[in-house]
Chain A
């Protein structure tokens, strides 16, 4: 196949895969394992073409044994390999929570920094296609909550590639959460936005560097993942009404780019946090609290837009009710003004 050009646009899945393939070519210690990642190429296209290039040894289909293979990734990482392990749906974390929460996240600290866990855990997240309570969660807050995991959430192809390069090279465990709706899969059409030009060359995007996806003066919308695109759409609508919204894409939750958020709120005075995770004890509360800690006086008004504290329901009108829509974001912004 011919080399791609800089004018080329990639889907988020292809950008992710291009970074993984690059790292696998450069470093024989990098390998990928998960369910249906070899012949299938990942249910959400996360590994398309990798088995063809690298073979079954480095792109491993594993038994449906999340505890074993996520734990095995931790173990292989601790002896110096650089595994990438995939949870087909982030919702399946429960099956292997000990390996994630008590091993992957804590071994570095418990060893006084003498052991490192240079692995990436990839996981498909998110709803909007009626897959109900056990297959639609994002769980951003659950993973950002435990100390010891770096948590990355790309929203565009460009970000997906740079964040993946950084994730694989990082000597710490990184959870890389990709939203199914953004991957550019034929059977789950993506919104406008995630498909972007992507440089052919390798590059790393540092964690903890939020990206101002749209600059504005009246209100700061902080969000991540799919909702970056819903927030941008909302900002368009708001612009028609004469309101200028700044949209900040966090890109990583751990580390959190507090400076970019605070700087924006000090400019706009209004903060709207939009999250596809549950409302309580999660991302929205954390962002608001962080801004309050840093710059309480700058906060004139605050709104949180998140999934109310209910499991994600199946039926279309019910799911639409709980997952924040563009309209919900517009209304929240209007309430701040």
Chain B
């Protein structure tokens, strides 16, 4: 999809099983654009129906772009943000 193939998409990796909705809302970002993040660090909190959950960094690096700001709605699978890894994966 993106031309930024060196960046890693932040998505909701595990959609909760007990909700029907395919949409969520970003509730809180804990780091801002440009921040260093570490793999598995909590980046933001989202809410799907009444269930809140944290979204963790899929890689260490810099949170280069927040795609969905606080209060923004998103659909299952949407990219919430991009991380530029510290050691960018080598391109093919």
Contact = CB atoms under 8 A, between A and B. Distances in A.
* Chains A and B belong together in one complex: yes
Interface of A: 1-5, 7-11, 184-187, 189, 195
Contacts of A187: 47, 50, 52
Contacts of B86: none
B17 to A, nearest CB: 18
6 nearest A-B pairs in the assembled complex, by CB-CB distance: A186-B47, A2-B38, A2-B41, A186-B27, A186-B52, A7-B35
Given A5-B36, A184-B45, 5 more contacts: A5-B35, A7-B35, A186-B28, A186-B45, A189-B71
Contacts of A5: 31, 35-36
Contacts of A10: 30
Contacts of A1: 40-42, 56
Interface size grouping (class) on chain B: 20 to 34
Interface string B25-68: 10111111001101111100111001010001100000000000
Interface of B: 25, 27-32, 35-36, 38-42, 45-47, 50, 52, 56-57, 71
Given A7-B35, A9-B31, A186-B52, A2 B40 contact: yes
A66 B60 CA distance: 46
B28 A11 contact: yes
Nearest to A11: B28
B27 A184 contact: yes
7 contacts: A7-B32, A8-B35, A184-B45, A186-B28, A186-B47, A187-B47, A189-B71
Contacts of B71: 189
B32 A9 contact: yes
Nearest to A49: B54
B46 to A, nearest CB: 8
Contacts of B42: 1
A8 B31 contact: yes
Contacts of A184: 27-28, 45
Contacts of B57: 2
A9 B29 contact: yes
A1 B57 CA distance: 10
Contacts of B38: 2-3
A189 B25 CA distance: 11
B25 to A, nearest CB: 7
A74 B90 CA distance: 61
A337 B23 CA distance: 49
Nearest to B56: A1
Given A1-B41, A186-B45, A187-B50, A195 B31 contact: no
A3 B40 CA distance: 10
A11 B28 CA distance: 8
A7 B43 CA distance: 12
A5 B32 CA distance: 11
Contacts of A9: 29-32
B31 A7 contact: yes
Contact of A195 (B28, B35, B40, B52): B28
A9 B63 CA distance: 14
A11 B45 CA distance: 10
A142 to B, nearest CB: 32
A307 B45 CA distance: 33
Contacts of B30: 4, 8-10
A10 to B, nearest CB: 6
